[in-house]
Amino acid sequence: MPTAARTSAVVFDRLSFHWPDGTPALDGLSGAIGEGRTGLVGRNGSGKSTLLRLISGDLMSTSGTVTAVDDVARLPQQLTLDTTRPVADLLGIREPLTAARAIESGDVDPRHFDAVGDAWDVEARAHVVLAEAGLPPDTLDRTVGELSGGEAVLAAIAGIRLRAPEITLLDEPTNNLDRGARERLARLVTAWRGTLVVVSHDVGLLELMDDTAELHDGTLTVFGGPYSSWRAWLDAEQGAARQAEATAASALRRERRQRIEAETTIARRRAYGRRAELERRVPKIVAGARKRSAQESAGRLRVESAVKESQARAALDAAERRVRDDAGIRIDLPDPGVAASRRIASLTDGERTWTIQGPERVALIGPNGAGKTTLLERLVANSSYPDRQSADTPDPGADRPDRRSCRQSRSPLPAVSHTAQVGYLPQRVDGLADDASVLENVRMAAPGVPPAEVRNRLARFLLRGATVERPVSTLSGGERFRVALARLLLADPAPQLLVLDEPTNNLDLDTVDQLVDALSAYRGAVLVVSHDDAFLARLDIDLTLELRDGMIAQR
């Protein structure tokens, strides 16, 4: 159940933030985040990243206050870095490190001593935090461009640990991390000192938290325990809420029936009194007294019925407010009609070729920098490759005991699609025409579908009204992802192969659930690159291939 946070590290008092066009991101938010490790969850667009930027001072509130210590460090969701920047600069120690090394080499310029201050052990401490992050000592003398995206994230986190701020804010830190890097980050988080607030969709990381804070419908609620405890509580609470809603709805129907029955009784009594008066069966004075008594009784009955119905209506309203009606995208994938025997794609490392056949689900895993994205890009680039073999290219499926792999006498294309109907969702969600509208972008993929039908389909992705006419360049990151996903899944003709590169990086947990459900119902082939083991475990993967050191192996 919801609990008060431990000793408060950050306090929000009627905090509001509106974007320059007046769109509210947060409105009147009050609450607190406690010391220790807190996982901050919520749907895309709920304001999680905005809240972190307000805590760190990168944004100023429109009204209300954020109370926190001044010593706050934030790792942004998108780590945009100058590739020529030294890693020592990323760690925030470039100046004292350079000065200390100059002094060690014999340069006694007073400016170097001023730059070093008390940080004589800066290099040794840097090596310690880099080692904790799984990075070698020579990382300190490299540039950011020499690191993979995951290594850059770990180096930035190492810099935060070296600085040791009182409050650290991490926004989706696992998005670019491979499995090994995620394990190292988990160890860092477990041993973290100070207050740590993590925004993430990574369930494994959220399980390491002391508290779970949720942003929902403009309200911040803190729960004692990790994500699984919060999820169990929420599911139970929503089950009880739905039961209470059903009970309240039944009570309202009962009170309405009783009011109708009461009105029927009143009408019958009135009709009986009129007949008695007309037939003069009772003296006029008695008839008048009965009429007044009947009117008073009818009035009381109407009031009592109205009060009971009003109370039942209020109880139903209260019960309905407890039941969440979160708008979620609804993904209905078309049937591409892929036969089980249909060859869809081939991947090779020059030694062996692996064939994706029929509606298979294939996961491609491997460390950062192994070339997974490059392989996908080559596959998509070769998607118009004809579904027949030339005399110079051996048939990957011919004369072999294992249909998945075989020795090759020649090196074929490293990745070949045997269908032109390929849908590709890149990791960076590029490929959209920024100056074109949402509607225009999706119609490019489905030119034969009438605009009205495209609008109806876009509404399932929560892209409605004026939003579909806006240029893609004006959309938020979450909206942009939904456009890319809609363009992929609404393509006409339907793709026979879906190629997904880290598809969960930009999705909230509810949308991941919906994507899993959609892919489970999809009858085409799926090739997915992901470091998210929990996501892959839910896809009923038929084949897992690992790309490492230029070689592909079955896992």
Q: Note the pLDDT of residue 406.
A: 40
Start-end of H helices in 279-357 = 284-322
CB 13 within 8 A of CB 67: yes
Select from 324, 77, 74 the least CA-distant residue to 221: 324
pLDDT digits (tens, 9 = 90+) for 460-498: 887 888 888 888 887 766 677 788 888 887 887 888 999
Give the whole-angstrom CA distance, residue 86 versus residue 299: 85
Strands (E), 399-467: 415-417, 422-425
Select from 13, 124, 135 the least CA-distant residue to 67: 13
Please tell me the pTM assigned to this model. 0.70
Q: Note the pLDDT of residue 28.
A: 93
Give the whole-angstrom CA distance, residue 476 versus residue 478: 5
Placement of tokens 């880099």 in the chain: 130
342: tokens are 């249909």
CB 87 within 8 A of CB 141: yes
Counting Cβ atoms within 10 Å, is residue 449 exposed (0-12), middle (13-18) or buried (19+)?
Answer: middle
- DSSP state, 494? P
Q: Note the pLDDT of residue 430.
A: 65
32: tokens are 């607190």
Kindly give the confidence (pLDDT) of every residue in the chain, 555 residues in length, as a single tens digit, with 9 standing for 90 and above.
565 556 889 999 999 999 887 878 899 999 999 999 999 998 877 889 899 999 999 999 999 999 988 799 999 876 666 778 888 888 888 888 888 888 888 888 888 888 888 888 888 999 999 998 888 888 888 988 888 777 888 899 999 998 889 999 999 898 778 888 888 899 999 989 899 999 988 888 999 999 999 998 889 999 999 999 999 998 898 888 888 888 888 888 888 888 777 777 767 666 666 665 555 555 655 555 555 565 556 667 677 777 887 888 888 888 777 777 665 666 666 678 788 889 999 888 878 888 999 999 999 998 877 888 888 888 888 775 443 333 333 333 333 334 444 433 333 458 888 888 888 888 766 678 888 999 999 998 888 888 888 888 888 887 888 888 888 887 766 677 788 888 887 887 888 999 998 888 767 777 788 788 778 878 889 999 998 888 899 998 999 999 888 888 888
**487 Cβ partners below 8 Å, 6+ apart?**
432, 441, 442, 444, 445
Give the whole-angstrom CA distance, residue 33 versus residue 363: 38
CB 462 within 8 A of CB 438: no
Give the whole-angstrom CA distance, residue 198 versus residue 289: 76
| C-alpha dist (Å) from residue 149 to 78, 81, 87, 421, 498 | 10, 10, 13, 31, 24
